[in-house]
Amino acid sequence: MHSKKVLKDLKRIILTLVVLMGVVGASYSQSSCFQIESVLVDACGSNEGTNEMVRIRIGANDLSTSDINITWPNNPYRGICQNTATANKVAQMNATILSCGYFVEPVGGVLPANSEVLIITSTDFDPSTHDYSGMQDTIIVIFQCSGNTAGHFANYNSSCSTRTLSITFGATCMESVTYDRCLLVNQNGEVGGSSALRDGARVDFDAAGTATYANDGCTIPYVPVSVAANFVNGDGTICPGGSVDISALVNGNASQMSWSSSQGSFANPTNLQTSYTPNGGVTTSHYIYFSAENNCNEPEIDSLLITFDDLPDVTINANATDACEPGEIQLTVSGADMYLWSTGETTTTITPTTSGTYTVTGSNSCGADQASITVNFGTVPSCSITNGPSNVICSGESVNLIGNSASSNVSWSTGETTSSIAVTEAGWYYFTVTEDCGVCRDSIEISVVETTAFFTATPNEGIIPFDAILENQSTDYDMLSWSVDGTVAHQNEEVITLPVDMPGVYEVVLTATNTVYGCTDSYTVTIMGYENNETHIPNVFTPNGDGLNDYFGITTSAAVTVDIRLFNRWGNSIVVREYESVPDVFEPIWDGTMSNGSTAGEGVYFYRVTITPMNGDVEEFHGNFQLTGLVK
């Protein structure tokens, strides 16, 4: 106990000197002559009116207690008294302080510049009604002279009304503050409550006079030192080669404020707001510290965690880049904190549905990076066959089949690999498209209509008059048309009779038509009519070796000179002969053998015959005949 008293006496001597020198709290100098900082409205104790307090801070210049004048909300101002009684009160207050704080009375009535001053409303103040144990400030105490027992302020009332406190130190140094009694709070931070719960209600004021309502109970109002370190922006993550802006908040009368770190440096380590840069090569998370000392020379410390982040390095991983069905490909991105795909998605994994290039931008606090990937979805090929104008053609004609497909990998059942083919034969035709994702096949049946015209004529030559019976032998038709010497004689008759009553050549043409498909064929027969059996030229012979009609020849009714020439359908001469005929005797001219010894083919052949009689006019005959039998 003795050592404690010696220490406190030493503190009092030092602090008295400090007060006299006017340097207490020098780091908090103000430009105004003083500021009202706090009013203890609802004091503790049985006689609250003598225990109320006001705390002010002196500005840049000393002030004197002899100049002070106070206008209380209630009761008159009674002046400042300093005597043995006030000294005893201060000693009682200091005896309860456990920290490094201290109360002193002014020397010679001087209130030093930048000092904290506690005004107690009466020399009859009861020190035991308040707790000063944790105080760390050095505060000058002055007392209003006794005589007032009633309160100087208005305690809580649910009916709102304001109260104003004014203090002056001469005509040019004054300040007033105002509070509303209905806003006073109790020790629970609420309004109202019991009288005991409301004890300690106070109002704090900033430099602008703005009121803040608080209640710490029966504790002497003072502001302890506290510090808080913060990042100006972000969470303290530093990019390669970067720095971070930091700031600190200090409450209370603090000194020796500074930033510290063993792994980096500060732009200005004693400024509240500065920047921190890690040493080169440092990439491990670590703490930096801000500290300030209170009046007890004890440090208050706060820390900030510095973390590191790299520049983003975006990579896309794909389970596949080629597929046949949507949903088979998944793209997963890594290397950043946030992502934005060209599809608008923000997830780490997306499932493309169409072919194309997909781009993702990844970002973190240090920047952004971009990556792209191209995916391709094959499709099951489609195909079809277009034919025109129909899938039924006439014999000897062709039809174009067009294979429709976006692919070029096509083939036909004919072996062709072009997009279209021309076909002339009946049957099924297949068009095939082959791709990685499947095969498509289409087919079409082509039909050929074999419309042929043919008829027999019996007889096909003779001495006039006679009737030639023409009998239709055509196939695959639905309409017939007969014409004689270019004139249509009959329609749709299967058998017709042709009267031959004039000498000469009768050219009969039969046209068979399939009107459904537009197929037409014609067949022509020449019928000879002549008088007196002068000349007979057949229109058909069958050199098949059966002894019947095996030769093409001429019969005349008189001895004449016959010049005969036979031609094939291309106009090539195959027989040339001149002879003297025997009347009424058939003269064989040709047996169907070609000059080279080969056998002639079936078909139509042509003749030109010149008959020169002994007396009379020369006659010429032109026509054709049919070789219909197989030559043996």
Tens of pLDDT along 182-192?
999 999 999 99
Predicted local confidence at residue 223, as pLDDT? 64
pLDDT of 530 strictly over 70: no
pLDDT confidence band for 532 (50 / 70 / 90): low
Predicted local confidence at residue 251, as pLDDT? 85
In a domain, 115, yes or no: yes
Which of 276-290, 344-358, 548-562, 617-631 shows the lowest per-residue confidence on average (mean pLDDT)?
Answer: 617-631
CATH value at residue 233: 2.60.40.10
Token pair of 565 as six digits: 């020439």
Predicted local confidence at residue 587, as pLDDT? 93
Phi-psi region of 332 (alpha: psi -120 to 50; beta: other; left: phi over 0): beta
Closest C-alpha to 420, from 220, 333, 412: 412
In angstroms, the first-to-last Cα distance of the chain is: 160
Mean pLDDT of the 323-352 span: 92
pLDDT of 533 strictly over 70: no
Predicted local confidence at residue 630, as pLDDT? 62
pLDDT confidence band for 8 (50 / 70 / 90): very low
Token pair of 43 as six digits: 């004091």
Provide the CA 377 distance to its chain's centre, in angstroms. 17
Residues 557/562/568/574 CA torsion (nearest 10 deg): 130
Hey, CA dihedral for 109, 111, 116, 117, is it positive or negative? Answer: positive
Q: What are phi and psi of 156, to 5 degrees?
A: -55, 140
Share of the chain above pLDDT 90, in %: 59
Q: Determine contact, residues 289/278, Cβ cutoff 8 Å.
A: no
Rounded Cα distance between 527 and 497, Å, is: 12
B/e letters for 583-595, b = 16+ CB within 10 Å, e = fewer, are eeeebebbebeee
Burial of 486 by CB count in 10 Å (0-12 exposed, 13-18 middle, 19+ buried)?
exposed
Burial of 597 by CB count in 10 Å (0-12 exposed, 13-18 middle, 19+ buried)?
exposed
Rounded Cα distance between 322 and 312, Å, is: 28
CATH value at residue 602: 2.60.40.1220
Rounded Cα distance between 82 and 113, Å, is: 20
Rounded Cα distance between 470 and 185, Å, is: 136
Predicted local confidence at residue 156, as pLDDT? 94
Q: What is the DSSP letter of 516?
A: T
Rounded Cα distance between 153 and 181, Å, is: 9
**Are 412 and 553 found together in one domain?**
no
Predicted local confidence at residue 4, as pLDDT? 34
Domain termination residue (choose one: 308, 335, 360): 308
Rounded Cα distance between 568 and 592, Å, is: 11
Q: How do residues 493-520 score in pLDDT, each as one tens digit? A: 999 999 988 877 899 999 999 999 889 9
**Are 324 and 415 found together in one domain?**
no
Beta bridge partners of 587: 554
Predicted local confidence at residue 220, as pLDDT? 66
**Are 136 and 240 found together in one domain?**
no
Rounded Cα distance between 224 and 300, Å, is: 10
pLDDT of 632 strictly over 60: no
Predicted local confidence at residue 222, as pLDDT? 58
pTM confidence score:
0.40
**Are 194 and 118 found together in one domain?**
yes
Rounded Cα distance between 81 and 122, Å, is: 9
**414 Cβ contact list (under 8 Å, min separation 6):** 421, 423, 429
Residue written as tokens 């080629």? 322
**Which amino acid type is present at position 74?**
N
B/e letters for 188-218, b = 16+ CB within 10 Å, e = fewer, are eeeeeeeeeebbbbbbbbeeeeeeebebeeb
Q: How do residues 24-40 score in pLDDT, each as one tens digit? A: 333 333 347 999 999 99
**Are 191 and 69 found together in one domain?**
yes
Residue written as tokens 């019976």? 469
pLDDT of 616 strictly over 70: no
Which of 29-33, 225-229, 439-443 shows the lowest per-residue confidence on average (mean pLDDT)?
Answer: 29-33
Mean pLDDT of the 425-444 span: 89
Q: What is the DSSP letter of 631?
A: P
**Are 370 and 392 found together in one domain?**
no
Closest C-alpha to 624, from 573, 564, 566: 566
Q: Determine contact, residues 420/403, Cβ cutoff 8 Å.
A: yes
Rounded Cα distance between 105 and 54, Å, is: 15
**Are 32 and 155 found together in one domain?**
yes
Token pair of 357 as six digits: 């290039």
Predicted local confidence at residue 463, as pLDDT? 63
Q: How many CB atoms lie within 10 A of CB 480?
A: 19
Predicted local confidence at residue 631, as pLDDT? 46
Q: Determine contact, residues 541/627, Cβ cutoff 8 Å.
A: yes
Predicted local confidence at residue 18, as pLDDT? 34
pLDDT top residue among 614 and 411: 411
pLDDT of 583 strictly over 70: yes
pLDDT top residue among 16 and 141: 141
**Are 98 and 185 found together in one domain?**
yes
* Helix/strand/coil for 19: helix
Q: Which of 27-31, 38-42, 485-489, 546-550: highest mean pLDDT? A: 38-42
**Are 445 and 457 found together in one domain?**
no
Q: How do residues 120-178 score in pLDDT, each as one tens digit? A: 999 999 999 888 887 878 899 999 999 887 889 999 999 999 999 999 999 899 999 99
Q: How do residues 457-466 score in pLDDT, each as one tens digit? A: 998 876 678 8
Closest C-alpha to 94, from 159, 218, 157, 4: 4
Q: DSSP secondary structure string, 535-581?
A: EE--SEE--SSSSSS-SEEEEESS-EEEEEEEE-TTS-EEEEEEEEP
Domain termination residue (choose one: 424, 449, 474): 449
Rounded Cα distance between 227 and 333, Å, is: 43
What is the enclosing helix (H) or strand (E) of 141?
strand 138-144
* Helix/strand/coil for 196: helix
- Residue length of the chain: 632
Domain termination residue (choose one: 377, 401, 421): 377
Closest C-alpha to 380, from 358, 406, 413, 354: 406
Q: Determine contact, residues 611/535, Cβ cutoff 8 Å.
A: yes
Q: What are phi and psi of 508, to 5 degrees?
A: -110, 130
pLDDT of 23 strictly over 60: no
Predicted local confidence at residue 212, as pLDDT? 95
Predicted local confidence at residue 521, as pLDDT? 93
Q: How many CB atoms lie within 10 A of CB 281?
A: 7
Q: Determine contact, residues 348/330, Cβ cutoff 8 Å.
A: no
Rounded Cα distance between 623 and 580, Å, is: 21
* Helix/strand/coil for 198: helix
Mean pLDDT of the 263-285 span: 93
**Are 569 and 619 found together in one domain?**
yes
Burial of 260 by CB count in 10 Å (0-12 exposed, 13-18 middle, 19+ buried)?
middle
In a domain, 621, yes or no: yes
Q: What is the DSSP letter of 598?
A: P
In a domain, 221, yes or no: no
Mean pLDDT of the 361-387 span: 89
pLDDT of 1 strictly over 80: no
Q: Which of 8-12, 289-293, 568-572: highest mean pLDDT? A: 289-293
Helix then strand then coil, % of the chain, to nearest 5:
10, 45, 45
Predicted local confidence at residue 90, as pLDDT? 96
In a domain, 220, yes or no: no
Number of domains observed in the structure of the chain? 6
Q: How do residues 62-107 score in pLDDT, each as one tens digit? A: 999 999 999 999 899 999 999 999 999 999 999 998 878 889 999 9
**Are 120 and 257 found together in one domain?**
no
Share of the chain above pLDDT 70, in %: 92
What is the enclosing helix (H) or strand (E) of 88?
helix 84-95
* Helix/strand/coil for 208: coil
| Residue 475 structural domain | 450-531
**Are 191 and 77 found together in one domain?**
yes
